[in-house]
Structure 1
Amino acid sequence: MKRLYTPAIVLTMSLAFTACVDANAQSAPEQPKLHLAAAGVGFPYLPFLIASSRGYFKQQGLDVEIGVYSGGAKALQALLGGSADIVAGAYSNTITMAAKGQQLVSFVTQAVCPGFVFGVTKASHDKIRTYADLKGKRIGVSSPGSSFHMGVNYLLSRAGLKPEDVSIIGVGSSSGAIAAARSGQVDALMTNDPVATVLQDSGDMFPLAEMRNEKETQATLGGNYPEASIYATRDFVEKNPKTVQAIANAMVAAEKWMAAATPQQVAEAVPPQYAVADKAVFVQAYTNMHQCLSHDGLMAADAPKTVRSVLAAFDADVAKANIDLATTYDNSYVLRADKH
Structure 2
Amino acid sequence: MRSRTALLTVAALGLSLLTACGGRDSASSNTLRIGYIAGSAASLPDMIAKERGIFEDAGLNVQFVNTDSGPGLVNLLLSESVDVTWAPTSNVLAATEKVQIVAGTVRSYGFELVRRKGFADSSTSLSYPDNLQALAEGRVGISATASYAQVMAEGMFNEAGVAPGNLDFLSVGVGPTSRGALKSGQVDLLMANPVTAAELQVAGDGDPVISTLDIPALKNLPEAAYVTKRGISEAQEEKVAKYLRAAEEAITWAQSESNIEDFDALLTQVYGLSPDDAEATAERYNPGEGNLIGEYGLSFDQGGFDELVAILLKGKLLTEKVSYDEATALIEPR
**In which range does the TM-score fall when normalised by the shorter chain?**
0.7 to 0.9
The CA deviation at 1:189 is 0.7
By how many angstroms is 1:234 displaced?
Answer: 2.5
The CA deviation at 1:286 is: 6.3
Residue in structure 2 matched with residue 66 of structure 1 by the alignment: 64
* Deviation digits for residues 59-109 of structure 1 (CA, Å, limit 9, x no counterpart): 2111111122111112211211222222222122222223xx333214141
Q: 1:292 to 1:191 in 2, by over 3 A?
A: farther
For residues 94-145 of structure 1, what are the alpha-carbon distances to aligned partners after superposition, in whole Å with 9 as ceiling and x for unaligned?
22223xx333214141x42542112212231416563333444211111222
Q: What SS is found at the alignment partner of 1:94?
A: helix
Between structure 1 and structure 2, the one with the greater Rg is 1
How many Å apart are 1:252 and its aligned residue? 0.5
Aligned to 1:115: 110
The residue that corresponds to 1:82 in the other structure is 80
Aligned residue for 2:94, secondary structure, equals helix
Residue 46 (structure 2) aligned to one of 45, 48, 57: 48
Structure 2 portions without partners, runs of 5+:
1-26
- AA aligned to 2:242 is A
User: Judging changes above 3 Å, is the alpha-carbon distance between structure 1 residues 203 and 309 closer, same or farther for their aligned structure 2 residues?
Assistant: farther
Percent identity between the aligned chains? Answer: 21
Deviation of 1:196 after TM superposition, in Å, equals: 2.0
Q: Deviations over 1:164-217 (max 9, x none)?
A: 5333222222122222222222100111132122223334332332135xxx35
Choose the corresponding residue for 1:243, options 232, 235, 239: 239
Alpha-carbon distance in 2 for matches of 1:311, 1:293: 27
1:178 corresponds to which residue?
A: 179
CA contact (8 A) 2:36 2:64 kept: yes
1:314 positional shift:
0.3
Distance of aligned partners of 1:65 and 1:158 in 2 relative to their CA distance in 1, 3 Å threshold: same
Q: How many residues align?
A: 295
What is the TM-score of this pair, normalised by structure 2?
Answer: 0.76
Which residue number corresponds to residue 90 of structure 2? 92
Structure 1 residues 40 and 149: alpha-carbon distance in aligned structure 2, compared to 1, 3 A threshold = farther
* Paired amino acid for 1:240: Q
Partner of 1:138: 139
CA RMSD of aligned residues (A): 3.1
Stretch deviating more after TM superposition (299-308 or 111-120): 111-120
* Counterpart for residue 12 of structure 1: none
State how 1:174-323 maps to structure 2 within 5 Å: 174-212=175-213, 216=214, 219-221=216-218, 224-236=220-232, 240-260=236-256, 261-262=259-260, 265-266=263-264, 268-269=266-267, 272=270, 275=271, 277-278=273-274, 281=277, 285=281, 288=285, 289=287, 290-291=291-292, 293-315=294-316, 317-318=318-319, 321-323=320-322
TM, length-normalised to structure 1: 0.74
Maintained 8 Å contact 1:117/1:192: yes
For 2:145 and 2:223, how far apart are their aligned partners in 1?
Answer: 17
Q: Which SS does the other structure have where 2:32 is aligned? A: strand
Name the CA distance, whole Å, in 2 between partners of 1:131 and 1:236.
45
Give 1:264 deviation, angstroms.
Answer: 7.9
In structure 2, distance between residues paired with 1:89 and 1:270: 26
The residue aligned with 1:32 is: 30
Distance 1:211 1:316, change over 3 A: closer
Change (3 A) 1:322 1:145: closer
2:5 match? none
The alpha carbon displacement at 1:279 in A equals 7.4
CA distance in 2, matches of 1:264, 1:192: 25
What is the CA–CA distance in structure 2 between the aligned matches of 1:164 and 1:116, rounded to whole Å? 20
